């Protein structure tokens, strides 16, 4: 064998060994991730899955639903904020009546679905419900509302939504409404919260509901930070320093939310993460956003809001069954387990407990 052939064989052997070593590392990381997911509490703070259950004839429903209870189990995800998504229509009393009726129907339907699957899942209404349901091995649903449009102009609707089980409200979607301005609308109608919006935030504080500023304008975000007595969250928003779109959060906004003990829950939609071609946007790109937030404000203020069934997901992270691979990537990046526990659920529980505590203080 001449020298060149010997070198060639050696290179092939080295490549084979390093491939084997990285495969072994991957298996070890996956085992650690699965163990962590068994022990810790994990929550995804935004999906739009409910509509897939209430409208099963949709082409993206059925098997293509990204969030199902068996998929949550497979991915090691304990809980999620399941949002009733409200697309925006006219802003008048008739429309507001019918959108509230729609919200009630959607929630009733999904509550019935959960009740029919009570061996697999349960609904959480308070922070104290989560561990209780996890210990029973159940997937956990907490209700949210995406778009304060559903509140209309009637403050009593906030309490109606609370009584239905809603515990977080995303104040806007892509258009301004009677509560606040959106990040995607063309004009600043209220320059932040409307006068009614300030009352909505106060009422949410009183009742113990989380104020969610994903989709809202910067002015709305700062008005909420200034006015809310409780921490606020961005339930599904990524980092504008990495992908520059108005829907993502600037570093200043991230710091301001964290300064008031709130959360930045990074979204997984390819469109909000990167301009790279579809096949190159993967969990690593998502974790670049997560690392950016952690480097900026620390692990106490970052989590995940997938936006599954509402635009979330990417190659290799197609649905909720892949959640544990985020943990694999964070472990690979050297995250300590204590930070991974915060990211997945401790941060959210801290904020929800604080929201509930402030509600009790206001009511006594
Ligand atoms: Zn959204």
- pTM (predicted TM-score): 0.94
CA of 173 to the centre of ligand 1 (A): 6
Q: Name residues whose C-beta falls within 8 Å of residue 267's C-beta, 6 or more positions apart in sequence.
A: 46, 214, 236, 237, 238, 273, 305, 306, 307, 312
What letters, b where the CB count within 10 A reaches 16 and e where it falls short, cover 138-150?
bbbbbbbbbbbbb
Q: How far apart are CA 244 and CA 233, in angstroms?
A: 20
CA of 294 to the centre of ligand 1 (A): 22
For tokens 């293509």, the residue is: 64
CA of 313 to the centre of ligand 1 (A): 13
Query: 3-class SS at 155?
Result: coil
Length of the chain in terms of residues written? 364
> What CATH number belongs to 42-363?
3.20.20.140
Question: Taking residues 145-167, what's their average pLDDT?
Answer: 98
Q: What pLDDT does residue 364 have?
A: 84
- Domain ranges in the chain are 42-363
- pLDDT at residue 214 is higher than 70: yes
CA of 238 to the centre of ligand 1 (A): 11
CA of 174 to the centre of ligand 1 (A): 8
- Tens-digit pLDDT profile for residues 6-65: 777 777 766 666 666 788 888 999 999 999 999 999 999 999 999 999 999 888 888 899
- Tens-digit pLDDT profile for residues 273-299: 999 999 999 999 999 999 999 999 999
Query: Which of residues 142 and 2 earns the better pLDDT score?
Result: 142
Q: What pLDDT does residue 63 have?
A: 87
For tokens 């949550």, the residue is: 72
Q: Is the dihedral of CA 15, 20, 26, 28 positive or negative?
A: negative
Query: Which of residues 340 and 58 earns the better pLDDT score?
Result: 340
CA of 198 to the centre of ligand 1 (A): 22
- Tens-digit pLDDT profile for residues 95-134: 999 999 999 999 999 999 999 999 999 999 999 999 999 9
For tokens 């304008």, the residue is: 217
Q: How far apart are CA 9 and CA 2, in angstroms?
A: 11
CA of 22 to the centre of ligand 1 (A): 37
């Amino acid at each position: 064998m001449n020298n060149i052939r010997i070198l060639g064989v050696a290179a092939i052997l080295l490549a084979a060994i390093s491939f084997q070593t990285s495969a072994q590392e991957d298996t070890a990381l996956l085992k650690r991730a699965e163990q962590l997911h068994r022990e810790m509490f994990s929550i995804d703070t935004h999906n739009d899955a409910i509509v897939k259950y209430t409208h099963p004839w949709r082409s993206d429903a059925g098997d293509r639903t990204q969030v199902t209870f068996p998929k949550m189990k497979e991915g090691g995800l304990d809980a999620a904020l399941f949002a009733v998504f409200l697309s925006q229509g006219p802003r008048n009393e008739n429309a507001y009546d019918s959108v509230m009726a729609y919200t009630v129907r959607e929630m009733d339907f999904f509550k019935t679905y959960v009740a029919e699957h009570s061996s697999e899942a349960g609904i959480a209404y308070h922070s104290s419900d989560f561990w209780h349901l996890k210990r029973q091995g159940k997937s956990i649903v907490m209700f949210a509302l995406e778009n304060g449009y559903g509140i209309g102009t009637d403050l009593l609707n906030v309490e109606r939504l609370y009584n239905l089980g809603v515990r977080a409200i995303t104040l806007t979607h892509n258009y301004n409404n009677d509560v606040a301005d959106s990040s995607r609308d063309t004009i600043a109608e209220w320059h932040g919260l409307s006068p009614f919006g300030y009352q909505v935030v106060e009422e949410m504080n009183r009742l113990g509901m989380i104020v969610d500023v994903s989709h809202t304008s910067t002015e709305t975000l700062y008005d909420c930070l200034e006015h809310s007595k409780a921490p606020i969250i961005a339930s599904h928003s990524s980092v504008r320093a990495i992908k520059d779109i108005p829907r993502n959060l600037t570093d200043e906004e991230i710091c301001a939310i964290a300064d008031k003990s709130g959360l930045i829950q990074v979204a997984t939609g390819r469109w909000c993460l990167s301009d790279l071609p579809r096949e190159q946007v993967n969990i690593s790109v998502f974790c670049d956003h997560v690392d950016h937030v952690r480097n900026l404000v620390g692990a106490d203020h970052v989590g995940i809001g997938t936006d599954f069934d509402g635009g979330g997901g990417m190659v290799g992270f197609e649905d909720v069954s892949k959640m544990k691979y985020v943990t694999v990537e964070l472990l690979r990046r050297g995250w300590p387990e204590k930070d991974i526990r915060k990211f997945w659920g401790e941060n959210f529980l801290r904020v929800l407990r604080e929201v509930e505590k402030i509600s009790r203080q206001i009511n006594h």
